[in-house]
Structures are given as C-alpha cells and as structure tokens.
Structure 1
Amino acid sequence: MSVSRRASLGEVRKFYAELMAAASRSADPRLERIFELVPREAFLPPGPWQINVNHRYLQTPSADPIYLYQNSLVALDAAKGINNGEPFLHAAWIGAVAPQAGETICHIGAGTGYYTALLSMLALPGGTVHAFEIEEDLAGRARLHLEPFEIVSVTHGDATQLPLPPSDLIYVNAGVVAPPISWLQALRLNGRMIFPWRPTEKVGIAMLVTRSKLGFQAQPLMPAWFIPCVGASNVDDCTKVPFGHEAWSVRSVRLVGDQLPDETAVAVYRHIWFSTDQLTPSGTAEGETA
C-alpha cells in the first residue's frame, strides 16, 4: 500500500503557478515561471496571516507559507482593510495588459510590492517599474522587499498629484471614480492602463484603456472591487453617472478638451467622459457616415 505524503512548498508553489497561468488566459510562458519564482510570503507580514473571506478575517493555523498559495486576500493592514489582492484577479489583469520586456510600467497602489515584483520580472530586460504607494508604512515595506529587483523604484506619495513618466503600462490597484487626465496623458502610443472603475457604489469593473492614434479605447473586463483611490474617488466632479449595466457598454474614454460629451456619454467628469462609441478613423460614431 502506498503511503501518501504531504506536498513540499516547492510543489505547492509550482501548482499555484500553473493555476495562475491558466487564470491569465495568456500564452506567455513567462507568467507561470514568475508566479513560481517570486515567493508571496516575502512580501507579507510575518505569519500566521489573516485571510479575508466575505469581509471577515480568518487566521491561518500557523506561519507555514503553504497557506498563502491559494486565491486569497491576505491582510497587509486589516484595520484599514488593505490586503494583498486575489492572485486569480491579478493573473487575469497581467494576462490582459501583457507586459513586455523593455517597457516602462507604473504601479499605482503597490502595497508591499508583491505584484510590483511580478510586473518587474516581465519588464526584463531593459524595462523600468515605478511603484507608487500612498501609505507610508506600506511604501517603506515595499521599498525593503523590492531591493533585489533593481529596475524598481518606490515612491511614497499621491500618484494622482505626482507626475508619471511616459508609460507603456499603468497598473492601478485602488478604486477610481475617474482616472486623472495626467494618467491618460502619460500613456505612450499603444500604452495600456488597467484600473478598477468605481463610478457608483454598486459598480466595480476592471477597465482596460489603450491609447491609439485615434484616442483612448476602453474595454470592460471583469468585476473588480478595491478600496478607494485617494485623489481619484471624488464624485463632486461627476455630472453624469452610468445606470444599471451602462458601465459595461463603455468603449472609449474622451477628453473634454478634445470633444464635448454627446448622447453616447454614460459617465461625465470635469476633464474626461466615457462613451459607448468605438473610436473610428473618421471621428464619427461607429456605423454612422460623415
């Protein structure tokens, strides 16, 4: 009779990486490798850890890191509701934005740096990663954790007020009512920005924005709920909010300075608005004639 044995941490991490690669829906073989190589426990407080399920924290039975290799929210600051996010969600986001070698990446809301580290691995060789974290304690811990990742810099501050470098990818991990115009303007041609769009309390959508020669294309991806982004969660500048499933119909983001909101607008803010129309070379709505 064969005797079963407990899987080693290495075996568990390898299977976790396989799960993340599948969740990413990406054919990039690097994704599985980086999820296996970067130890999640190195970016978390000492165990035992607090796992968040349905807004309730449960403590792991011990400090064995094997408990971390599941699709779980792990507390970074339980009192503030700040967690290391769900790996399946981040794997899907990383697959959608497809970071490439040599790219400049901005990670806004970096926490203690776990997903920053993963992004930096995908930017090698030749890339750079600029991490922003508004919580001073978390930024300090991220700076310490990310020391081995030489292409990463960590800034403690409000990324809605600080200048962003010209970027190929902006990866936002805090709920945004409307992205600052400076973030959109920081995107290079073919640059991507992914962020949790929170136009109302009942709407939380991962929104992928891509800058093309025509403007800013938008694609709603999946439900996504994050704590509010300081500096980008003010509803006072909003003059129109989406109703029901309107938010899922967004196909482009327009700058008010370039084009005033029209009947295709589902959400309107001081500097930007969200439209249901695709961008077209003629500038007319898709399906219309000039």
Structure 2
Amino acid sequence: MEDARRHYLDQIRYDGVPLSPALARAFAAVPREVFVPDGFHRRDGRRVLPADPDYLPTVYSNDVLVTKMSGDLPVSSSSQPSLMAVMIEALEVRPGHRVLEIGAGTGYNAALMATLGAEVTTVDVQEDVADRARSALARAGINGVRVENADGYTGGSQGRYDRIVVTVGVAGLSPHWLDRLEPGGFVVAPVEHAGTHPVLAVRGSVPGPVTASVVCPAGFMTAAGPLSARHDGSHPPPAAALGELTEAAAARWAPALEALAYRDLWYAAGAWHNRATHASVPGREQSYLALLDDSGTAGAVILPDGAVLASGASAERYTAVATALMDRWWALGRPPMRAWRVGLARAGDPGAPIWVPRNWELTRRP
C-alpha cells in the first residue's frame, strides 16, 4: 500500500501539478479506496470491483472513478486527482478555513481539505450520494466534514464561508454563494466555456462587479437546474459528430500543438466566437474544437496541427473564421488561458439567476 500511494503522488506530479508539502501529505494519508467500497466504472465504462486485481492500482492512479451511472450517463464520481490537487491549491486552503463544497461526490475531496485543517460543509442534491459520502468519511475517520443533502444552487443550510469550491460543471455561479462569502473569500468553480468547463477563481459580491481568472482546463459532469441554464452568451452544446467533413485548410503546425497549448487556443476561440464548442470526428477517438453553424450539425473543426475540416452549406465561411481565430491567437503570442480576465454578468432564469461569463480581456502576453 505504501508503494501504491508513493506511486500515486508521482503520477499526480507527473501531470505537472506542483503539490505543496501539506497537500502531498493529505493525498498520502487519506485512503481513497475507502471512498469507493463498492467499486467504480473506468473511463471506458468497464466496472471494477474490490475483488479485481486491478482495483487498488486503479484507485491509486491519476484517473477519474465513476461511482454512479444513470443509464449511460455518469452522474457522480471521484474526480481525477491531479485536477483535485490544482483546484485545492487554487483555493489556498488554510487551517481553520470554513469551506463550502458544492457536489459531495464520494467525499474524498472533502476529506483532503479537512486533512489540511479546513472545516468543510459538502452538499449534494442526490440523497444516496450524500449518504454514501457521509458513511465513507466516517469509515476513514475524517473529522471536520458535515455532509448535507441539499440543492447546490442555494448551498444548503445557512453559513458563512472563507472559500467555496464547486465540483460539478455549471453555466454560472449562484448569487447565494457570493452572498455567503466572508470578506476576501472567493469561489473556485468549473464554468462552461466552448463545450468544456475551465476552472475559474471568482471574486465579487451579489451587487457586483464579479470577475474571474482562469485556473486550468477541465471537463466535468454538468449540473442540473438553474446552475445549467442557457443564456444569451451560451456556446452551442457539443456535437456528437459532423457528417461529410472534408479538409478545407491544410495543417500549419509541425509538430502539432501539445494538449495544453491546444486548450489555450480552444479557450481563446471561445472568448472570441460564440459558436465555439467541440465535436466528434469520424475515425478519431477524441473530440476537437469546433465552430458550429446555426443548425448545430455542420461547420468547421480545428485539429491540433491547425488543419481545418469543414462541412455544410457554410463550410467556406466557417473555414475562414477558423483560420482567422488561429491567426489572431498566434499573432498575440499564443496566450495561455491563464492570461485571461473574465467579467461576469447576471443571466439565466430571473427567478433563479446565475452569474455567467460575459466579457474577456487579455491581461498579459507570453
């Protein structure tokens, strides 16, 4: 087990995540297997049970563990540890901090923050998920965590918090969260942008202004209810596939952009164009940055090497837009997503509003 956990920390660091000594000790001390006692699904959908030989090696890998499915749709999980680490480091958790977590999941993330000395309240709208998290925390002997079965939009029972962390993809932030922050407090949340959920560090108050900086790229399960409301600035939903794609522009980069740089381009495209999202490409495993026409079934796809695939009646126009976006990003020195400052505005259902990204400004260049 000691070897497994030591290898676990190495895997998290291998993804470029700098672990503070305190957080490294927390990852080493909290037994992740206690939080998935009934097994889990891997990314490929295969079920892994505690009796399987790859159970512990997978538990102590840098991978997401899906713990609840609704049909073919994952609805609860233990997030990828390196992403947990980035978000916890971004929270700047200190001993004695009161932290509200929206989305209890397995309880593992709350356990890590409690091990850092925080007083954590974690809420989940799914009663069975909250019950399992509560049981797992008790089995692990973790103190300092209160689990509530409550609506994430309201944030559960009343209280004031130094930090709020959201572990489910949202279209925007609930004003209830901002209203419950202590002075100097902030929210770390994955907020929808061009079909993904980049993590933002958000500061502000209910009257406004509300601003954010970008922490890292991410993809999360999407929340239900007002937290996922569509609004005027929403990007189109991801497309399962775009048919009849043909190469409309040749590759421009050799070697192709690395994964993080491609995400930087993706973020910029979403800031500059409201039809940016992602789409599957026949014959390829992953999804790619796409610009969809109004039908949502055609448009242009930008590949990591800069090649553009296009389809539909407006293929030529969307190819030109894709090329212009790449030219602009390159001319600005390939700005990383962390160089963006985001302004948020109230939108969504007037009876249950949310603060959503509305404008973007580059604050620095490489």
Q: TM-score by structure 1 length?
A: 0.75
1:50 deviation in Å? 2.5
| Mapped contact 1:250–1:275 kept (Cα < 8 A) | no
Following superposition, the deviation at residue 169 of structure 1 comes to 1.2
Shift of 1:226: 1.3
Which of 89, 103, 109 is the equivalent residue of 2:103? 109
CA contact (8 A) 1:21 1:32 kept: no
Note if contact 2:103-2:123 (Cα within 8 Å) is conserved in structure 1: yes
Which residue number in structure 1 is paired with residue 133 of structure 2? 142
Between the two proteins, the alignment pairs up a number of residues equal to 251
| Closer, same or farther: CA 35–153 of 1 in aligned 2, 3 Å | same
- Give the C-alpha shift of residue 219 in structure 1: 1.0
* Aligned residues of 1:251 and 1:275 also touching (Cα < 8 A): no
- Note the C-alpha offset of 1:84: 1.3
Instruction: Indicate whether 1:207 and 2:196 are aligned.
Output: no
Asked if the contact 2:100/2:165 (under 8 Å) is kept, the reply is yes
> Could you tell me whether the CA contact under 8 Å between 1:175 and 1:227 is conserved in 2?
yes
Question: Residue 16 of structure 1 contacts residue 69 of structure 1 at CA under 8 Å; is this kept in 2?
Answer: yes
- The match for 2:284 is none
Does the CA contact (< 8 Å) of 1:17 and 1:32 recur in 2? Answer: yes
* Deviation, structure 1 residue 94: 1.3
- Kindly tell me: are residues 185 and 24 of structure 1, through their superposed partners in 2, closer, same or farther at Cα, counting changes over 3 Å? farther
SS at match of 1:165: coil
* Residue 34, structure 1, aligned to residue 23, structure 2: no
User: Any idea what SS the aligned residue of 1:119 has?
Assistant: helix
Return closer, same or farther for 1:27/1:111 CA change in 2, 3 Å cut-off.
closer
CA offsets per residue over residues 2-28 of structure 1, 9 Å max, x none? xxxxxxx21120231244356574463
On the 8 A contact 1:204/1:225 being kept in 2, the answer is yes
Is 1:220–2:214 an aligned residue pair? yes
Equivalence for 1:245:
270
User: 2:68 maps to what in 1?
Assistant: 77
How far the C-alpha of 1:230 sits from its partner, in A, is: 2.3
Aligned mates of 2:345, 2:13 — CA distance in 1: 36
Shift of 1:89: 1.0
Shift of 1:46: 2.9
Match of residue 120, structure 2, among 112, 116, 129: 129
Aligned mates of 2:183, 2:106 — CA distance in 1: 30
Question: Which segments of 5 or more consecutive residues in structure 2 lack a partner in the other structure?
Answer: 237-268, 273-336
Q: State the 1:233 CA deviation.
A: 3.6
Instruction: Give the RMSD, CA atoms, in angstroms.
Output: 2.9
Residue 144 of structure 2 corresponds to residue 151 of structure 1: yes
Distance 1:14 1:164 in 2: 39
Aligned match for 2:357, one of 262, 269, 274? 274
**Cα separation, partners in 2 of 1:223 and 1:239, compared to 1, 3 Å:** same
Contact (CA 8 Å) 1:110, 1:132: kept in 2 or not? yes
Contact 2:233 2:358 in 1 (8 A): no
Residue 57 of structure 1 aligns with which residue? 46
Letter in 2 for 1:28: S
In terms of mean alpha carbon deviation, does 166-175 or 59-68 score higher?
59-68
Q: Structure 1 pair 228/198, CA: closer, same or farther in 2 (3 Å)?
A: same
Q: Which has the larger radius of gyration?
A: 2
- Give 1:7-26 correspondences, 5 Å limit: 9-20=1-12, 25-26=17-18
Partner of 1:281: none
Aligned residue type for 1:131: T
User: Which blocks of at least 5 consecutive residues in structure 1 are unaligned?
Assistant: 1-8, 257-267, 279-285
Q: 1:45 offset after TM fit, Å?
A: 3.0
Determine the C-alpha separation between the residues in 1 that align with 2:84 and 2:174: 22
Please give the per-residue CA displacement for 1:18-74, whole angstroms capped at 9, x wherever unaligned: 443565744631111110110110000334x42114xx3354743642331111121
Q: Distance in 1 between matches of 2:32 and 2:98?
A: 23
- SS of equivalent to 1:89: helix
TM-score when normalising by structure 2: 0.61
Which residue matches 2:184? 190
**8 Å CA contact retained: 1:163, 1:182:** no
Using the aligned pairs only, state the percent identity: 24
